[in-house]
């Protein structure tokens, strides 16, 4: 897997209002190693999700990688994890990382996919 590291620092004075902390990972293809880490939590009654991804630069359909993130992250039932709602149910999603910026589409269309 390509190394993805996500660290979220929180001020001491707000750490007690953060609840429902969870994370999930998704590997696009076990052979390629391209992956995504999602960390989500509640701050009071607002849900935040930080998505750190490394998209496959060799994939001709890079937008499908973002679609895969939406379909798979926080959606699998495995031992010790609950099945959660779709990413779009969060109040705020922050997508960052290696997005393979060689996507050959107009900016408006890319933003529509995100």
Between residues 50 and 27, the one the model is more confident about: 50
Between residues 31 and 99, the one the model is more confident about: 99
pTM for the predicted model, two decimal places: 0.71
Question: Across the chain, what does the average pLDDT equal?
Answer: 76
Structure confidence by residue, pLDDT tens digits, 39-91: 999 999 999 999 888 766 665 555 566 667 777 777 766 555 555 666 778 89
Task: Flag the least confident range among 3-7, 98-102, 109-113.
Answer: 98-102
**Count of CB atoms within 10 A of residue 61's CB?**
9
Mean pLDDT calculated for residue range 94-104: 71
Rounded Cα gap, residues 36 and 52, in angstroms: 6
């Amino acid at each position: 897997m390509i190394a993805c590291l996500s660290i979220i620092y929180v001020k001491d004075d707000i750490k007690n209002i953060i609840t429902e902390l969870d994370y999930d990972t998704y590997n696009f293809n076990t052979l390629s190693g391209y992956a995504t880490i999602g960390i989500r939590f509640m701050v009071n009654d607002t849900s935040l999700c930080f998505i750190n991804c490394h998209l496959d630069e060799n994939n001709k359909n890079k937008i499908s990688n973002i679609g895969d993130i939406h379909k798979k992250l926080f959606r699998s039932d495995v031992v010790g994890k609950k099945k959660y709602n779709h990413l779009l149910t969060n109040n705020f999603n922050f997508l960052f990382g290696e997005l393979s910026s060689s996507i050959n589409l107009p900016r408006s269309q890319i933003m529509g996919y995100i």
